[in-house]
Amino acid sequence: MSAQPPVAVDIVDARARRAAATDPLRDDILAGLTGSRPAGERTLPTMLLYDERGLRLYDAITTDAPEYYLFAAEEEILRRHGDHIARYMHAGRAAKIVNETVVELGAG
Amino acid sequence: MENPPITYYALDLEKRELERTLTQLNQSELGAELVGKVATKGLCATYDDGLELIQEGGLQGRTDVASVSSELRDRHQYRVERVSTGRDLSPSSSKSADTEATPPSTPGSDKQPFHLLFLGSSLGNFGRGEDVAFLRSLPLEPGSGNTILIGLDHDNDAESIEHAYDDSRGITRDFIMNGLKVAGRTLGDESLFEEDKWEYVGKYNQELRKTLYISFGYRVTRPCYRST
């Protein structure tokens, strides 16, 4: 017996549009490791950290690592000043809000 | 039924994570409060593709299926999927993983403003120069009504910063080391970087202090030679 009704979420999947002949991530990895940089200065792209497992680990950092002050600080700012921020977003627009879009980049 | 005045899109490349977190949100108390005010959706795309889609008006509060012109279909093919999760899916539930093609925008409609959120010091994930280039590329013309909210950490002492990125439970260490697995997987072999041969080093770069630079490094713990 389920306590929750079925929940549906809409996901716009825009990944299918690009038929990639090359994998940019693969290229970035190889470029960072084999390029002209001297030994000791090789690089890997940050994107590597954010696969599904990485995102869950990051989630765990925000909840279980108090040293990671950034998350709590940002949450407090949004809590305290959220109203002000929202009003500022609509500053100068007297019209009723209709059909506006908010996009969180890298929401995870 | 009228669409809510605001639609929030969580943009990310990891579709399963989008499903998981959005479902969690919808099931929470906050989710109930948002009904009728903010519609919540996922947008599975890169920053660039997602922004292009927004600019073309591709996300103008569309939730319904409409006819697709063939020209638009060629240029901007994308799908809206309704994903149903939950333990009690009855056979008569209307939509589960329907895929629908929707056109980018209603011809002649005004471009409504959009608001970008770039939180969690994510801007710091860009390399030097790339961060500026990215911000410059954003469509934030005066008069457009478009806004961006950037969450960025300010200057703190080196010790706090280093601890922030190297917690005592080792979660950050696991997070960073997972990157090596992903690198290996991308190159075709998940165990390409043998985990016990690398260690994580998080150092706050004092010289580049102006840009609040912290580097995550992997250091070889003992040399290894791999024959190919």
- Chain B: give the shortest CA distance to residue A52, in Å: 6
- A75-101 burial: b if 16+ Cβ within 10 Å, else e: eeeeeeeeeeeeeebeeeeeeeeebbb
Question: Contacts of residue A99 in chain B, CB cutoff 8 Å?
Answer: 3, 5, 7, 60-61, 112
Smallest CA–CA distance, residue A83 to chain B, in Å, is 13
pLDDT in tens, A96-105: 788 889 999 9
With H, G, I as helix, E, B as strand and everything else as coil, classify residue A11: strand
Taking an 8 Å cut-off on Cβ atoms, the answer to whether B6 and A97 are in contact is yes
Nearest CA in chain A to B159: A67
Is some CB atom of chain B closer than 8 A to the CB atom of A9? Answer: yes
CB pairs under 8 A between A and B: 269
All residues of chain B having their beta carbon less than 8 Å from the beta carbon of residue A31 are none
Q: Are A69 and B162 in contact (CB under 8 A)?
A: no
For A27-41, the pLDDT digits (tens) are 989 988 887 777 777
Q: Which residues of A touch B16 (CB under 8 A)?
A: 52
Element (H, E) at A10: strand A7-13
Q: Which of A38-42, B21-25, B112-116, B220-224 has the highest mean pLDDT?
A: B21-25
- Kindly report the nearest CA distance between residue A95 and chain B, in angstroms: 11
Q: Over 90: is that where the pLDDT of B126 sits?
A: no
Residue B92 has which token pair?
Answer: 């008569």
Average pLDDT on B157-186 reads 92
CA B27 to chain A, closest CA, distance in angstroms equals 7
pLDDT for residue B107 is more than 60:
no
With contacts defined as CB-CB under 8 Å, which chain A residues touch B18? Answer: 9, 11, 107
* C-alpha count within 13 angstroms, C-beta hemisphere, residue B225: 1
ipTM of the complex: 0.83
* Cβ–Cβ contact A79 with B under 8 A: no
Of A8-17, B102-111, B162-171, give the range with the top mean pLDDT: B162-171
Q: Which of the pair, A93 or B63, is modelled with greater confidence?
A: A93
Average pLDDT, rounded, for chain B: 75
- State mean pLDDT over B194-212: 71
Instruction: Residue A98: name the closest of A108, A90, A106, A87 by CA.
Output: A90
DSSP chain B: -PPPSEEEEEEES-HHHHHHHHHHHHHSHHHHHHTTTEEEEEEES-HHHHHHHHHTTTTSS--S-----HHHHHH---EEEEEEE-TT--TT-S-SSEEEE--S--TTPPPPPEEEEE-TTGGGGSPTTHHHHHHHHS---TTS--EEEE-------HHHHHHHTS-TTSHHHHHHHHHHHHHHHHTT-TTSS-GGGEEEEEEE-STTGGG--EEEEEEESS------
Nearest CB partner across the interface for B11, out of A51, A66, A104: A104
Residue B182: partners with Cβ closer than 8 Å, 6 or more residues away: A48, A49, A51, A54
Does the pLDDT of residue B106 top 80, yes or no?
no
For the record, the structure tokens of B130 come out as 């790339």
